[in-house]
């Protein structure tokens, strides 16, 4: 029988707030010595009291609005009770039945076909401490405990690994556009959990036994674990077996899932309202104010680049992939407007030469020395005939290295295009004299060889000759010989 996977994802995203979720400790703990970003609250000391971080609530609502979620009038925090050494209080403050948002969606683009993936809820909780197991001992670093953690729960509406991958990329892109999460998976800022079941292809049934895979710390781990689990369940079902409901972990090194706990041991978290925190009343004007703060999001930006600026879908996608790149491009276009430089010409330079050099030097857009306002210089200088397109690429490379102005580089290196008819004519005559054989072939009827002669003239001028003029002069000189 043919099966179709049913995949739901839970994404945990650390919020970029200055302080932790319920105390004043700095949430920027990356690289800090262990257990230095701690206080009685995040250490879980008896008698300490939590205080809600307003910025974290705002970031969560902002994210929920970007995912078209409904924001209820009331929300509350609940205690999720379980015992694990990384949980300082013996419970996690999370949200159970009254989350900050519900019922949204995100649009993914799977090879040109767009699809809405439902977002069940976006809620807020706190991160746990971090355990290290070494030399037969377990060590704990509490710096991470209490860092605001947003949980984005999708509906089980993805039906291929590719859809799950695209959904995750889109989520990360939007979080980075909003500036609420770094999306840095190497530092654990974004983690995944996947729910996977299989159903007969064509069925609408959602009652199949789901397997949950936890601890997926990268996009790659999520993709590999999901692929592995689909294959494992397919094998069981094809052999007439039954998939057990269980929670699994992912062993990255061995590329396999393993059982963490089976249904019989499933935890009862004994959720109950957090008695130390008030219920949150979410005023409508607060939501409206946050809505007004939403930046132009990737889909809108991409659409604008296509419809208003005439970019290809491909160029628009690569330019809007990162907010910083899109902002860079917008600034370049703005600077080009005043000088009559077309947005498409600027896109060509950005997606072509700039991306190539960034890739070669492993540079982020923030480290690029060419200011966006300098980009329109190149297409402007090419269309004015000051430099050829080939020379422009060399100039661009110099600009990338030094941040110098295009004109300064052209002047310093004497790269300006030779459009002096007399000077070029002399070079053409010299080249023809030095190439008697091709000239003879041309006169014998092989007219395509004129291109070779043009190439020789360009070479003799180190590419600086005005190519249109060279074409003209070569044709003229040859026709005179006939």
* Residues binding Zn ion (CB under 5 A): 23, 25, 39, 41-42
| Minimum CB distance to Zn ion, residue 40 (Å) | 7
Choice between 41 and 100, CB closer to Zn ion: 41
| Minimum CB distance to Zn ion, residue 145 (Å) | 8
> How far apart (Å, rounded) are the C-alpha atoms in residues 67 and 7?
19
Query: Residues near 231 by Cβ (< 8 Å), separated by ≥ 6?
Result: none
| Minimum CB distance to Zn ion, residue 75 (Å) | 23
Choice between 39 and 280, CB closer to Zn ion: 39
| Minimum CB distance to Zn ion, residue 37 (Å) | 7
Choice between 43 and 236, CB closer to Zn ion: 43
Name which of 337, 330, 282 is nearest 302 in CA terms: 330
> How far apart (Å, rounded) are the C-alpha atoms in residues 430 and 146?
78
Name the DSSP class of 262: E
Choice between 26 and 215, CB closer to Zn ion: 26
| Minimum CB distance to Zn ion, residue 133 (Å) | 24
Give the ranges where 239-294 is alpha helix by DSSP (H): 284-292
| Separation of CA 295 from chain center | 16
In sequence order, what DSSP letters do the residues of 11-52 get, joined into one string?
EEEE---SB-SSSSSBS--TTPPTT-S--TTTTT-TT-----
Choice between 42 and 365, CB closer to Zn ion: 42
Query: Residues near 379 by Cβ (< 8 Å), separated by ≥ 6?
Result: 336, 341, 342, 345, 346, 348, 349
Choice between 50 and 336, CB closer to Zn ion: 50
| Minimum CB distance to Zn ion, residue 143 (Å) | 9
| Minimum CB distance to Zn ion, residue 180 (Å) | 21
The Cα-based distances of 199 to 7, 154, 466 in angstroms read: 11, 19, 66
Choice between 42 and 391, CB closer to Zn ion: 42
Choice between 126 and 246, CB closer to Zn ion: 126
| Separation of CA 54 from chain center | 27
Contact 123, 60 (CB under 8 A): yes
Name which of 135, 36, 123, 131 is nearest 88 in CA terms: 131
| Minimum CB distance to Zn ion, residue 12 (Å) | 19
């Amino acid at each position: 029988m043919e099966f179709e996977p049913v995949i739901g994802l839970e994404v945990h995203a650390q919020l970029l707030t200055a302080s932790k979720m319920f105390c004043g400790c700095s949430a920027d703990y990356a690289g800090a010595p262990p257990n230095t970003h701690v206080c009685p609250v995040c250490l879980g000391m008896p008698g300490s009291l939590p205080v809600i971080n307003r910025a974290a609530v705002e970031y969560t609502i902002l994210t929920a609005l970007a995912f078209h979620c409904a924001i209820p009038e009331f929300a509350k925090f609940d205690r999720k009770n379980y015992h694990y050494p990384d949980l300082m209080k013996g419970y996690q403050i999370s949200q159970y039945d009254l989350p900050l948002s519900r019922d949204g969606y995100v649009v993914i683009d799977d090879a040109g076909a767009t699809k809405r993936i439902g977002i069940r809820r976006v809620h807020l909780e706190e991160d746990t401490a971090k355990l290290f197991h070494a030399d037969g001992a377990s060590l704990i670093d509490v710096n991470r405990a209490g860092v605001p953690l947003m949980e984005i729960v999708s509906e089980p509406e993805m039906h291929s690994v590719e859809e799950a991958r695209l959904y995750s990329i889109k989520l990360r892109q939007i979080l980075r556009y909003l500036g609420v999460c770094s999306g840095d998976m190497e530092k654990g800022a974004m983690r995944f959990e996947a729910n996977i079941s299989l159903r007969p292809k064509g069925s609408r049934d959602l009652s199949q036994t789901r397997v949950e895979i936890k601890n997926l710390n990268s996009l790659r781990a999520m993709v590999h674990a999901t692929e592995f689990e689909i294959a494992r369940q397919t094998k069981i079902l094809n052999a007439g077996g039954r998939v057990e409901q269980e929670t699994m972990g992912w062993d990255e090194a061995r590329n396999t899932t393993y059982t963490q706990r089976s249904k019989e041991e499933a935890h009862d978290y004994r959720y109950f309202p957090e008695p130390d925190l008030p219920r949150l009343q979410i005023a409508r004007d607060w939501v409206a104010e946050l809505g007004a703060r939403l930046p132009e999001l990737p889909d809108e930006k991409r659409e604008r680049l296509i419809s208003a600026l005439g970019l290809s879908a491909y160029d628009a996608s690569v330019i809007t992939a990162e907010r910083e790149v899109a902002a860079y491009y917008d600034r370049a276009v703005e600077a080009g407007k005043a000088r009559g430089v077309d947005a498409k010409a600027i896109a060509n330079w950005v997606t072509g030469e700039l991306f190539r050099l960034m890739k070669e030097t492993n540079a982020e857009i923030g480290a690029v020395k060419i200011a966006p306002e300098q980009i329109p210089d190149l297409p402007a200088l090419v269309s004015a005939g000051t430099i050829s397109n080939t020379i422009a690429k060399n100039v661009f490379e110099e600009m990338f290295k030094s941040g110098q102005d295009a004109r300064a580089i052209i002047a310093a290196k004497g790269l300006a295009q030779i459009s002096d008819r007399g000077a070029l004519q002399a070079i053409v005559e010299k080249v023809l004299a030095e190439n008697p054989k091709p000239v003879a072939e041309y006169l014998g009827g092989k007219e395509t060889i004129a291109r070779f002669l043009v190439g020789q003239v360009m070479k003799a001028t180190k590419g600086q000759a005005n190519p249109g003029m060279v074409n003209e002069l070569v044709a003229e000189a040859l026709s005179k010989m006939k």
